């Protein structure tokens, strides 16, 4: 899909996290959340990917180095429109897809559907959703598929605060309208340059802005605090378990921890309270007993691992039986 440049906004500290760690470096099932976003972006095969970094940029860019993407630095937190403009020199003359580094649950299939909707109209397009409690989110006023405007929570009137339709943040800006970002002002309570204000600029220039409604808000909304971080971990864990179930793995209970890069072979059985992390490969017909920890290990086929075992950096030969309470540490 070499029609888009992608910018991933990842400069914020994330005050609500109450942490010294950069917001996008908080982990979801063992991986910094921005890693998931970059992987989903790469699956779209774009022309380029640029991460806008800022707070804790050294840590963020060190993690992202393996992905071989571009960087732009937002030295001052002046809003999302300002963040996008810092990367303008790195994007060529093509349409622009803007993602957020704190939305780890987004799926590539969702983004592909969003892009397909965009291609029907080729207008500025925002992904929107609705939730019962929209507090803290930008409200979206619609006319059919068209967005009249998006108002941030801090600037919304009491009447506007009753609107349940909210901005998910993800958007596409056609190449011919990217210059409109430079016309966005900062006339709001925070004095920031909001990307959502491109709706106002577009209206002033008789340009339509479309809203693509997606009805799974948990997938497309950002992780802003530790409560949402917990919920995102739980959702990702269940997604990982469901993936392995579809591949023929049996789980006695969902009360386990399993990271996203773990592979498990068909007809293996995982008992409760198992912890599987890192670059772990588990073969077929393996039984892992309860309360066992496995990290960065290779477990061949037909292995039976008892409960309460600790296996780190080890390779277990096929057909092996490991008694309960064993340690295999390389």
Rounded Cα gap, residues 11 and 269, in angstroms: 42
pLDDT score of 129 more than 90: yes
pLDDT score of 35 more than 80: yes
Tell me what the pLDDT averaged over the chain comes to: 96
- 97: which strand partners? 6, 172
| Structural domains for the chain | 4-220 (3.90.550.10), 248-329 (2.160.10.10)
pLDDT score of 145 more than 90: no
Whole-structure pTM value: 0.95
pLDDT band with cut points at 50, 70 and 90 for residue 138: very high
Of the chain, the percentage scoring pLDDT greater than 70 comes to 99
Where does residue 262 fall: left (phi above 0), alpha (psi -120 to 50 degrees), or beta otherwise? beta
| Burial of 245 from C-beta contacts in 10 A (0-12 / 13-18 / 19+) | exposed
Q: What is the pLDDT of residue 2?
A: 66
Q: How confident is the model over 45-75, as pLDDT tens digits?
A: 999 999 999 999 999 999 999 999 999 999 9
Rounded Cα gap, residues 124 and 37, in angstroms: 21
Q: What is the pLDDT of residue 162?
A: 96
pLDDT score of 1 more than 80: no
**Nearest residue to 99 via CA among 39, 22, 183, 150:** 39
Q: How far is CA 72 from the centre of its chain?
A: 19
Residue range 264-271: average pLDDT? Answer: 99
pLDDT band with cut points at 50, 70 and 90 for residue 235: very high
Alpha helix (H) ranges present in the chain?
Answer: 33-43, 57-64, 80-86, 108-121, 198-204, 217-220, 226-246
pLDDT score of 154 more than 60: yes
């Amino acid at each position: 899909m070499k029609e888009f440049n992608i910018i991933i906004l990842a400069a914020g500290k994330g005050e609500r996290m109450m942490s010294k760690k950069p917001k996008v470096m908080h982990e979801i099932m063992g991986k910094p959340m921005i890693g998931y976003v970059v992987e989903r972006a790469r699956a779209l095969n774009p022309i380029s990917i640029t991460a806008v970094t800022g707070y804790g940029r050294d840590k963020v860019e060190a993690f992202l180095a393996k992905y071989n993407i571009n960087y732009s630095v937002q030295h001052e937190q002046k809003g999302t429109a300002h963040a996008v403009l810092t990367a303008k020199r790195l994007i060529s003359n093509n349409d622009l897809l803007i993602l957020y580094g704190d939305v780890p649950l987004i799926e590539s299939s969702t983004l592909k559907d969003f892009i397909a909707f965009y291609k029907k109209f080729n207008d500025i397009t925002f992904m929107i959703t609705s939730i019962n409690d929209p507090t803290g989110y930008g409200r979206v006023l619609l006319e059919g598929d068209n967005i009249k405007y998006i108002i941030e929570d801090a600037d919304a009137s009491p009447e506007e605060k009753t609107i349940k339709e909210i901005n998910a943040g993800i958007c596409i800006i056609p190449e011919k309208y990217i210059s409109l970002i430079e016309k966005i002002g900062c006339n709001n309570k925070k004095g920031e340059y909001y990307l959502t204000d491109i709706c106002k600029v577009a209206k002033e220039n008789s340009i339509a802005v479309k809203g693509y409604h997606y009805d799974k808000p948990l997938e497309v909304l950002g992780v802003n605090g530790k409560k949402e971080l917990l919920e995102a971990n739980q959702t990702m864990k269940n997604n990982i378990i469901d993936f392995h179930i579809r591949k023929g793995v049996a789980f006695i209970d969902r009360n386990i921890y399993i990271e996203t890069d773990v592979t498990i072979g068909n007809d293996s059985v995982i008992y409760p309270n198992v912890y599987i992390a890192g670059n772990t490969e588990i073969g077929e017909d393996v039984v892992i007993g309860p309360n066992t920890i496995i990290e960065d290990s290779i477990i061949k086929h037909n292995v039976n691992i008892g409960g309460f075992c600790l296996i780190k950096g080890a390779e277990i030969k096929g057909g092996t039986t490991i008694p309960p309470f064993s340690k295999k540490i390389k």
